[in-house]
Structure 1
Amino acid sequence: MNTQASCPQAVKVSPEITDEDRRRFHEVISTELADWQIEQVITPSKIYPRQENLLALHWHPEFVPLDLITRRVDAMFPNARERMMIPTQHNVLMSYGNYTGVEVDCYASGFNQKVQLLLHFENDRVKDAGVLKSMLAHTFKYRSSQLFEYMDTITTPMEDRIAIAARETGADEDLVEMVRVYVTKLQTILDEEWSNVSQEAIKNKLVKNYFDAMRPKYGDNLINRIQAYLKEVKKLVKQNFSLKFFYRATEVIEEARALGGCVVIPHPEEFWPILLAKYDVDGIEVWNPQSQRYTDFLISVVNEQNASRPSGGRNLLIFMGDDCHMSEKTKSPETQDPDKAGREIGLQPAWDDLHIRKKLIIAGIDRHSVISEYRERLAG
């Protein structure tokens, strides 16, 4: 490693775009998998031979081919006889087997907050879903525009946000300037290469991945400091991102119902008020790798709401979400986010937690019963 790589201090960077900058950009946006990446994708870190039911309704294939994902899941759960796997790409319909799913960003006007909903369908129900597809295309494009606001915040720059991010992370002027120069380069290359860039690459994590690719050049200490600063900037951008161009949650639900689809609320720990909105949904995600703290409470919420439903009404179902982003499996181990890398399709330990399982047994709920009930609802 060169002397710059061993030094945690920021360095002065030329604004001129080099061949190295372009090469790094193309490496970061590439969706072609090398042999080592394929091997990493299809090889699970652990095998669960005793799990016989596989329920996975909240996971993101991203650019990883579905056949490779199947190989990983098959290896991880070799004895899973009953399966229900529905992908939920962000704002893009995607099919796997008999089902199609999507995770939709939308706006809950009652409490002025962005929320997300999982929509699931039998494949035939969305073959001609022109309105839903148009809604999703608009949402995808608008959600992707956050990347440009994120980069503009750094390069214009928006001094108030930059000052807050620098103060919160201890970033000095040299580091802020180094980041500004590199993000300016990234912006310019992105504009110049626009026609060759896949939609999948137009996400906030493009910036993170671009700087991660510089670890061999500058070393982990400096890149870690930069990533902490970038994370704080991104948080400020998200907090100030306008919600008025998202569709309302009620509009998304109405369109899904009109097509015969089902709706699940994910991440309730992030979106507490959504539990009070009494939306027309099929169930609530009570656990996922990001939301584990209130699982007991959320099970109680579902049980109480079911107990108060009028006779003949459909019960809310209890779901658990993997929130697995498969692109994380394609990264070299030193650049992976440990929390995200640990997520697996179909791996939901809460189902087998003794304390939680006791509550689920009392409610008459397990993976098998949820799969059976949800399959019936999707069949309509």
Structure 2
Amino acid sequence: MNGYVEKTDLNFEEITEWDESIFKNLISLDLRDDQVEQVLTPPIVYSNHQDVLAVHWHPEHVPMELIKKRIGIMFPVRKSELIIPTQHNVLMENDGYCGVEVDCYSRGFGAKVQLLLHFEKSKVENAEILKSMLSHTFKYRSSQLFDFIETIVNPERQEALQEAAGETGANDEVVEFTKNVSKKLKGMLEKYESITPAESVKNKLLSNYVDTMRGAIGDRFANRVQLFLKAVKIIVKRNFPLYYFYRVNEIIEEVRGLGGGVVIPHPEQFWPILLAGYDVDGYEVWNPQSRRYTEFLINVVNNQNKTIKATSKPVLIFMGDDTHMGEKTKDPKFQNREKAGREIGFQPAWEELMTSKSLIAGNISKASLITEYRARLS
């Protein structure tokens, strides 16, 4: 069973056995045989890549042993590698290194930002303060799903729905359908709270739930609902209180005390952070979501490194594939094509001619970056 059935008699107002079956399927962290096969069958093999760098990617619910097998299949001739998982607000380990992508708050420009943190495994085995900070952040970030649902179902919070409907052209049918499925999901989250893994409590649970109904409601209507949901989610995120997140400086100070590394990901989303003078090891100059200013950022870093003191460490240049492995376990019909196309360790900008020109000017290569960052983390 793939969890996506075609039915024309779904009850969109009351929770049915079908809904409960689908809900349990959606929150499950176990992979079916067909999902395992999808993970172990990458669409391409990079037969000439000898250096593999991946310090920004998300295992999600895919077991690390399967991910390692996939990487081995994709990069059969690799000689040097640094592959560190960066789950959102959850510290995870691979081959002696640990990593996490943490949400935090920059008071300087009043916005949520994210940092990539990397460590040698031994340095965080007893890092109880950092682990407590991440646990707090994980729980707070997970609460956004409930705020998302409450925004949709609570009659006193309808301004957000009106704004989203105005932006997307959603009609009453789309809005009412969204309210009904949100009420059902809320009911099932409450009923099955004791068996729902914390890792499954994410905003995308609602959109994934809608996707399971495509056979009944049709792709066109489902797409309109998803567009409306996305607009509501943006509004919820915009209004989500940020002061419960730890401040950037608090996170960096804790990481430095443990001997870890700090990288700023997809900086196009966080331009002001590049001007804040934070103590970081490097910037991510390319990301599937942030690729417009790659050459410009490389040149900025190159120029910055020319002016630093001889005793200071240069700013490093990273590229992040930002792969979400959970996307690769979905039925291909319901995958986000762009996200599903990302691969751990593959950042095409390294090979692009204009980018290569800027990298050569800064004496930067994947091999040298792997060596340098390993040394910093040791």
- What TM-score results when the alignment is normalised by the length of structure 1? 0.96
Note the residue ranges of structure 1 that are not aligned, 5 or more in a row. Answer: 6-10
User: Counterparts of 2:249 and 2:6 in 1: how far apart (Å)?
Assistant: 56
Query: What one-letter code is carried by the residue in structure 2 that aligns with 1:57?
Result: V
> Are the equivalent residues in 1 in contact too, given 2:7–2:216 (CA < 8 A)?
no
Match of 1:161 in 2: 160
User: Counterparts of 1:130 and 1:279 in 2: how far apart (Å)?
Assistant: 24
User: Counterparts of 1:122 and 1:193 in 2: how far apart (Å)?
Assistant: 37
Q: Tell me the C-alpha RMSD between the 2 structures.
A: 1.4
- Where do 4+ consecutive residues of structure 1 move more than 6 Å? none
Shift of 1:14: 4.9
Question: Aligned pair in 2 of structure 1 residues 2, 126: CA closer, same or farther (>3 Å)?
Answer: closer
SS at match of 2:283: strand
SS at match of 1:271: helix
> Are the equivalent residues in 1 in contact too, given 2:328–2:340 (CA < 8 A)?
yes
Match of 2:99 in 1: 101
User: Counterparts of 1:52 and 1:2 in 2: how far apart (Å)?
Assistant: 45
SS at match of 1:269: helix
User: Counterparts of 2:299 and 2:361 in 1: how far apart (Å)?
Assistant: 11
Match of 1:287 in 2: 286
User: Counterparts of 2:307 and 2:119 in 1: how far apart (Å)?
Assistant: 28
Note the residue ranges of structure 2 that are not aligned, 5 or more in a row. Answer: none
Q: Per-residue CA shift, 1:114-148, capped at 9, x if unaligned? A: 00000000000000001000100000001111111
User: Counterparts of 1:208 and 1:253 in 2: how far apart (Å)?
Assistant: 34
User: Counterparts of 2:264 and 2:139 in 1: how far apart (Å)?
Assistant: 22
Match of 1:269 in 2: 268
> Are the equivalent residues in 2 in contact too, given 1:41–1:330 (CA < 8 A)?
yes
Question: Aligned pair in 2 of structure 1 residues 342, 259: CA closer, same or farther (>3 Å)?
Answer: same
Match of 1:369 in 2: 368
Query: What one-letter code is carried by the residue in structure 1 that aligns with 2:48?
Result: R
> Are the equivalent residues in 1 in contact too, given 2:6–2:213 (CA < 8 A)?
no
Q: Identity, % of aligned pairs?
A: 54
Query: What one-letter code is carried by the residue in structure 2 that aligns with 1:257?
Result: R
Alignment of 1:107-118 (within 5 A): 107-118=105-116
User: Counterparts of 1:14 and 1:144 in 2: how far apart (Å)?
Assistant: 26
Shift of 1:168: 1.2
Aligned residue pair count: 373
* Between 215-224 and 50-59, the greater mean CA deviation after superposition: 215-224
Match of 1:8 in 2: none
Shift of 1:225: 0.8
Question: Aligned pair in 2 of structure 1 residues 277, 169: CA closer, same or farther (>3 Å)?
Answer: same
Question: Aligned pair in 2 of structure 1 residues 250, 2: CA closer, same or farther (>3 Å)?
Answer: closer
Match of 2:88 in 1: 90
Shift of 1:254: 0.3
Match of 1:318 in 2: 317
1:25 aligns with 2:23: yes
Alignment of 1:1-380 (within 5 A): 14-157=12-155, 158-379=157-378
Shift of 1:16: 2.1
> Are the equivalent residues in 1 in contact too, given 2:6–2:214 (CA < 8 A)?
no
* Between 13-22 and 181-190, the greater mean CA deviation after superposition: 13-22
SS at match of 1:31: coil
User: Counterparts of 1:144 and 1:42 in 2: how far apart (Å)?
Assistant: 29
> Are the equivalent residues in 1 in contact too, given 2:12–2:177 (CA < 8 A)?
no
Question: Aligned pair in 2 of structure 1 residues 14, 94: CA closer, same or farther (>3 Å)?
Answer: closer
